[in-house]
């Protein structure tokens, strides 16, 4: 006869008690892992990148390409060869000036080495570059479309004229520092370097106005 004071447990609670005390633990599905080779999932709300995803930012990139040289075309345009020859002479002379500036046992101080380093910064080379630009611009005035060689030489002449202008200004400033040592020599050197500035600046401006779209650097628009 069952005791009326003890409560009778339902069948479901008895089975759950047996499971918690000594039964088999409940089984759970194994965690899912991504394979090692698969990339991590993108964050929520991130979609594929598009060209118009962000604001456009402008930057400058160097854009200098060596054109293909056609000997037959160059034979018909001697003004290109003349301008290229002046440019080659300037490069060789500047290389000689660099070697002279760093020679040992020459007794140069820092200012003299800088002046030798910027050797082509004089009126003679400024006039030569201006002549090269004139050959290039005036010789190709009647052409409907300029060749790639003409544009490339024009870029190099623009760069050379700008470098001569900056170098002449630097050398003129250095000559001013010698005024206390020898006023006459310092003033003469200052005026000599200063004379190259307007000539080379005019050559640079002429080369730029003749071919403004063919600069060594071009504006490039990128997106972020």
Question: Does residue 35 lie in a domain region?
Answer: no
Question: Does residue 60 lie in a domain region?
Answer: no
Question: Does residue 125 lie in a domain region?
Answer: yes
CA separation for the pair 162, 125 (Å, rounded): 12
- 57 bridge partner residues: 222
Number of domains in the chain: 1
Residue 189 domain boundaries: 76-209
Q: Would you call 159 exposed, middle or buried from its count of C-beta atoms within 10 A (0-12, 13-18, 19+)?
A: middle
Predicted confidence pLDDT, tens digits, the chain (224 residues): 444 555 554 454 444 444 444 455 555 555 555 555 555 555 555 555 444 444 444 554 545 454 555 555 554 567 888 899 999 999 999 999 999 888 877 678 888 899 999 999 999 999 999 999 999 888 776 655 556 778 888 899 999 999 999 999 999 999 999 988 888 899 999 999 999 999 999 999 999 988 755 444 444 444 44
CA separation for the pair 181, 194 (Å, rounded): 20
- The pTM of the whole model exceeds 0.75: no
CA separation for the pair 154, 203 (Å, rounded): 11
What sections of 61-109 are H helices per DSSP? 71-75, 78-101
Tokens (6 digits) for 17: 């008690």
CA separation for the pair 147, 153 (Å, rounded): 10
Question: Does residue 215 lie in a domain region?
Answer: no
Question: Does residue 180 lie in a domain region?
Answer: yes
């Amino acid at each position: 006869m069952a005791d009326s004071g003890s409560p009778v447990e339902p069948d479901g609670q008895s089975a759950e008690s047996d499971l918690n005390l000594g039964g088999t633990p409940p089984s759970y599905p194994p965690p899912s892992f991504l394979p090692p080779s698969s990339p991590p999932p993108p964050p929520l709300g991130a979609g594929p990148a598009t060209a118009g995803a962000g604001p456009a930012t402008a930057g400058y990139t160097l854009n200098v390409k060596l054109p293909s040289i056609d000997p037959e075309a160059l034979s018909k345009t001697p003004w290109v060869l003349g301008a290229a020859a002046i440019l080659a002479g300037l490069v060789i002379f500047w290389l000689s000036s660099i070697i002279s500036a760093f020679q040992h046992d020459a007794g140069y101080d820092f200012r003299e080495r800088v002046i030798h380093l910027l050797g082509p910064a004089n009126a003679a080379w400024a006039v030569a570059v201006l002549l090269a630009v004139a050959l290039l611009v005036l010789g190709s005035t009647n052409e409907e479309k300029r060749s790639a060689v003409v544009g490339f030489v024009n870029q190099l002449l623009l760069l050379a004229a700008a470098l001569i202008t900056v170098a002449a200004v630097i050398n003129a400033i250095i000559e001013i520092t010698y005024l206390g040592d020898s006023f006459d020599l310092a003033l003469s050197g200052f005026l000599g370097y200063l004379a190259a500035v307007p000539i080379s600046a005019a050559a640079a401006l002429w080369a730029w106005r003749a071919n403004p779209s063919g600069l060594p650097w071009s504006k490039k628009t990128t997106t972020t």
